[in-house]
A and B are shown apart, each in its own frame.
Chain A
Amino acid sequence: MDDLTFLNQIEEISGEKISTCYQCYKCTAGCPVATEMDIYPHRIIRHIVLGDREKVLKSKTIWTCLMCITCSVRCPNDIDIAHVFDTLRKVAVMEHMEAETDTWRFDKLFLDSVAKHGRLHEIETILKYKLEKKDLFSDTKMGIGMFLKGRMGVFPHNIKDRKQLRKIFKKIDSK
């Protein structure tokens, strides 16, 4: 008998009935970045069913996904594939198998900004990201261009009730 632990784990965390997939390829056919993936979306679903934990968690695919939800609204079995990929990212990070770190790094900095100010402070977040990447100048021209058009926020956007917001973040952390 196949090892179903991986399937059960991902089905439980995501709440998606992955095992109902009948490999119709519809998800892959509509994916705008399928050509950039190392494993096609429908194959990822199949590998989960087969219990290929490492193959799935180490794949580039789950980080290439743009979360455009095309696959999810088209799946005849109502599997929210984008949501499954979101779940796989979390598990990959938890188990130290992530194939790419930029997306996760940026998402974390984004949320740091929200935790601190209540809203996204664009310039601060982008600079931090670029510092972490040790790549401060690659998009300077674009940044200046946007700034001149008034399209880059310089000042932080603090909300008033930051105390409550910190409480929300803390409560979630301790769960």
Chain B
Amino acid sequence: MITLTYYPGCSLKTSSKFYETSIKNTFSFFGIELTELNDWSCCGASAATTIDEKLAYALTGRNLAIAEDVGYHLFAPCSACYNRSKVTNEKIKKDRVLRDEINETIYPLKCLGTIKVKNIIEVLHDHVGIERVVKKIAYDLSSIKVAPYYGCVLTRITKMDAFDDKENPTSMDSLLWALGTELVSWPYKMECCGASKTLTNKDVTFRLSNIIMEKAQSVGADAIVTPCPLCQMNLDLLPYLGRTDKNLPVLFLSEVFELALFGRIGGMSSHIIGVDGVVKKVKKK
């Protein structure tokens, strides 16, 4: 049994609520307990850095300080939250001037950068491990071909080490392999979906997400798999953004775990692009 502090961020409580459910189903199966970060606030996403960097650090610092007080590592499933939290945490640890400045702003809270910030792939690797995944699968996913899609900011962390290769990550590939799926090889693992522009410049989001969908289809995938709620949403919204061609289902990594462990997906009905085709391919082992 291991406990982690869970930082859901805004999307896992609203537009991607079913991602939260699916993470909880998967984690509790492997004995990972999540305690939600008490009174967490928004990390500011990309908006805060654009308006005022200090504010971005303070907003994230507030959450980190609350987490540090509890002492468990912080799990942030949203790639944007993860990136912001990880960068801020490292800076707090290494940059004394900035640390003092942040702590002055969030007083009476205090943060020293003592905990680790982890994303979903890291948690599954560190606290479950490939061997245990292989041992526990109950359903055969070998007829499902998946395109692993990491999205842009999960491993692109500037000026510091990332948990995987910044340009060609493979950690999610190994998890998907352990789950028994067939993997396609494609060059779009990290391409940007146009995340932040969905409202302000829909055409750009459409163009970029459409290319990713098209490419995944052309290499014969049955589904795209991602750990990022923003990527999932932009790709899943493609029918509304104007795409008339056939779409592939866009699954969360934890939903593939659900398929392999329980043979079904809890939040199936929340998907805009239907996932039944993929679920039907699952066979009992």
A binding-site residues for B, Cβ under 8 Å: 32-33, 36, 64, 66-70, 72-74, 78, 80, 82-83, 86, 89-90, 102-108, 110-111, 114, 118-120, 122, 126, 129, 139, 141-142, 145-146, 149-153, 157, 159-161, 164-165, 168-169, 171-172, 175
Contacts and interface: CB of A to CB of B under 8 A. Distances in A.
Contact of A169 (B55, B195, B199, B270): B55
B165 to A, nearest CB: 10
B156 A72 contact: yes
B47 interface: yes
A142 B10 CA distance: 20
Interface in B81-132: 104-106, 109
Interface in B66-92: none
Contact of A33 (B18, B104, B204, B237): B204
A102 B41 contact: no
A142 B152 contact: no
A149 B270 contact: yes
Given A68-B192, A111-B51, A157-B10, A106 B156 contact: no
Interface of A is mostly: helix
A151 B156 contact: no
A70 B202 CA distance: 21
A77 to B, nearest CB: 12
Nearest to B200: A102
Contact of A80 (B53, B159, B237): B159
A37 to B, nearest CB: 11
Interface residues of B, number: 59
Contacts of B159: 78, 80
B243 interface: no
A70 B58 CA distance: 25
B80 to A, nearest CB: 10
B42 A86 contact: no
Interface in B1-29: 10, 13-18
B197 interface: yes
B156 A168 contact: no
Contact of B48 (A69, A80, A89, A111): A111
B249 interface: no
Interface of B: 10, 13-18, 39-42, 44-55, 58-59, 62, 104-106, 109, 152-153, 156-159, 166-167, 190-192, 194-197, 199-202, 204, 208, 233, 237, 240-241, 269-272
B254 to A, nearest CB: 17
Nearest to A102: B200
Contacts of A103: 50, 197, 200
Nearest to B271: A149
A107 B51 contact: yes
A102 B58 CA distance: 25
Contacts of A153: 13-15
B39 A126 contact: no
Contacts of B47: 106-108, 110-111
Contacts of B18: 150
A83 B39 CA distance: 30
A86 B158 contact: no
